[in-house]
Amino acid sequence: MTFPVEAISALLVPLTSPFFCLAVLLAASIAADAQKPRWLRRSVLPAAFASAWALYRLAADAGASAWLARLDSPLFPALLGLALPAMFLPRNRWYPVFLLAPAACVGLAVAAAFRAYGSVPEGGGFHWLLIRPSFLVVGATALLVLAQPLLPLGSFRRLVRGTAFLVLMFGGFMFRQDYADYREMVSRRTTAREKVLVLGETVPSMRADNQVVHLPGAPCRLSADGGYVQGCNLELWQRLMQVDFGRAAAGDPGERNVLTLALASATVFLFLCFVGARWWCGWICPLSTLGGALDWVRRRLGLDFLKPSEGLKTGFLAGGLSLAGLGLLLARLYPGLDAGGRVLGCKIPVYPFCKLCPGQSLCPVASQGPQAFPPLPGMEWLFGFFRIGVLVLLGIYLFSFAAVRRLWCRFCPMGMIAGLFNKGGLLRLEKEAGKCNRCGVCSEVCPMDIDVVRAELTGSNVSSYHCVLCLKCVEHCPRDGCLGLRFAGGRVVESRFAAGGKAS
């Protein structure tokens, strides 16, 4: 008797859908609300689970399976099956029983990697870790869930950032799906052309024929051999701006495929913003992690940081919005390029903002070394605008982390959209004003120089647009239970000064 792997996989498919995940998370927020009737709190989760499952199957059977498949992602089962229970289950004597689930997931991921090596020809040698994205995402999440009870909040944040940096910067060559995928990646290493940004020459490991993944942070797929995701969300919006909507409406298959891929990725992106808001900036974004390294060097050298004025902060915000708008405008002109690759007499790259973004320079260098620093754009690109712009933006980035604290995060267009979900999303930074002693520690440790948390004396919601949810205010707050983070209605972490000034 053979094990029905395909049948079980088909049964579990709804778990990979953002719609199914959203239904369960919204139900969890109701279940966590103590003001709701007990019968409702006890029944809403199983009811939402069963209803969302049934609706997904009905939609798939009605002919929407191809569209639903474009939205599937291993991020969602990892969130539902591992991260959500870890946040909501009380830390009592039964919690170790739950930890058997992430331990089993780690074991399955290891077993999958060993089995993938079975496809390597005898004597083929070491080819890094051959593992499918679904196993890697679930396995990495399981490891973090197992580590979380053992670490204070600050150490856990550094572990998450380090794990994300490892996957997003080195995942392109360290984690391939199988031996054939690894060999295909190696064969592409000599195809890059100088002075031309051709993203089609980099194939992210997580990309499937009908799926692309864009995260709310700023992972760049120009890192080593394509990275592990499609790219940052500004690439997504540029991709949408390049669509010839007239040809798509007329039924052109190429344009319609690009449009549907981009719309599917935008749907997942907006869902991830609703779930995590700018937490992605504070915990996942590799550009933020690289900037944190610069900040660490500054502190080790004993140098104080500059505190920017409100005018400078506003100027950085306006500058980021203006640059993003210019990049999208130029991307919209791309369908009108002539045979010489010019429009209005100017040469414009495929993704204009990507040509300027510091990620194009920093991510390859971080993942492959200084020799990977890309050549500067030629003067033929928009009369030298891109050549000068690359150097100016790289200088601004280095200054804004080496001399200030996270000033770049006020400029970064990639995080601006996620900031809109800091209020109204599933994450909420909250404060019990009655426990606050007005010490101002939260304002001092905030890398974004946000004063709302200290200044709020009546309301409980202290979330703000620029907050990257690094939770340093929660970590260092000297009052037990004064500050905390709420997710989907349940408080998942709060200040605990008794434990050496570390939150629990």
Q: Is residue 74 part of a domain?
A: no
The residues that bridge with 483 in the sheet, in sequence order, are 431
Residue 23 pLDDT > 90: yes
**Sign for the pseudo-dihedral over CA of 170, 163, 158, 419:** positive
Q: What is the pLDDT of residue 223?
A: 85
Give 6 or 449, the one with higher predicted confidence.
449
Q: Is residue 354 part of a domain?
A: yes
For residues 85-112, give the mean pLDDT. Answer: 89
**Position 498 confidence tier, pLDDT thresholds 50, 70, 90:** low
Do both 350 and 380 map to the same domain?
yes
Strands of 393-456 (E only): list them: 427-431
Across 5-14, 76-85, 169-178, 421-430, least confident range:
5-14
Instruction: Give the tens place of pLDDT for each residue, 391-407.
Output: 999 999 998 888 888 88
Q: Is residue 471 part of a domain?
A: yes
Interatomic CA distance for residues 343 and 328, integer angstroms: 15
Residue 174 pLDDT > 80: yes
Q: Is residue 398 part of a domain?
A: yes
List C-alpha distances in Å: 464 to 127, 133, 240: 45, 34, 29
List C-alpha distances in Å: 93 to 89, 98, 130, 470: 11, 10, 37, 29
Cβ distance 139 to 110 under 8 Å? yes
Residue 373 pLDDT > 90: no
- Within 10 angstroms of residue 449's Cβ, the number of other Cβ atoms is 18
Q: Is residue 183 part of a domain?
A: yes
Do both 227 and 167 map to the same domain?
no
Interatomic CA distance for residues 504 and 178, integer angstroms: 40
Residue 7 pLDDT > 80: no
Q: What is the pLDDT of residue 3?
A: 46
Do both 414 and 433 map to the same domain?
no
For residues 122-139, give the mean pLDDT. Answer: 86
Do both 341 and 412 map to the same domain?
yes
Q: Is residue 76 part of a domain?
A: no
Do both 403 and 319 map to the same domain?
yes
Do both 474 and 417 map to the same domain?
no
Q: What is the pLDDT of residue 1?
A: 45
Closest CA to 334 of 351, 317, 319: 351
Interatomic CA distance for residues 373 and 84, integer angstroms: 40
H/E stretch holding 342: strand 342-343
Domain closes at, from 391, 421, 451: 421
Do both 228 and 175 map to the same domain?
no
Across 234-238, 283-287, 422-426, 499-503, least confident range:
499-503
Domains: count for the chain: 4
- CA 258 from chain center: how many Å? 22
Do both 113 and 63 map to the same domain?
no
Do both 218 and 328 map to the same domain?
yes
Alpha-helix residue ranges (DSSP H) falling in 60-198: 65-69, 75-78, 84-88, 95-98, 100-116, 133-147, 153-174, 179-187
Q: Is residue 502 part of a domain?
A: no
Domain closes at, from 43, 69, 95: 69
Do both 471 and 330 map to the same domain?
no
Domain closes at, from 367, 386, 421: 421
What lies within 8 Å, CB to CB, of 330 at 6+ separation is 348, 352, 382
CB crowding 370-386: b at 16 or more within 10 Å, else e: eebebebbeeebbeebb
Q: What is the pLDDT of residue 503?
A: 44
Cβ distance 256 to 248 under 8 Å? yes
Q: What is the pTM of this model?
A: 0.90
Q: What is the pLDDT of residue 33?
A: 82
Residue 470 pLDDT > 90: yes
Do both 377 and 443 map to the same domain?
no
343 phi/psi in degrees, rounded to 5 = -140, 130
Residue 499 pLDDT > 60: no
- Strand 342-343 relative to strand 346-347: parallel, antiparallel, unpaired? antiparallel
Q: What is the pLDDT of residue 108?
A: 92
Q: What is the pLDDT of residue 12?
A: 76
Q: What is the pLDDT of residue 238?
A: 92
Do both 238 and 304 map to the same domain?
yes
Q: What is the pLDDT of residue 198?
A: 60
**Position 205 confidence tier, pLDDT thresholds 50, 70, 90:** confident
499 phi/psi in degrees, rounded to 5 = -90, 50
Task: Give the residue numbers spanning the domain of 25.
Answer: 1-69
Q: Is residue 373 part of a domain?
A: yes
Residue 195 pLDDT > 50: no
Residue 502 pLDDT > 50: no
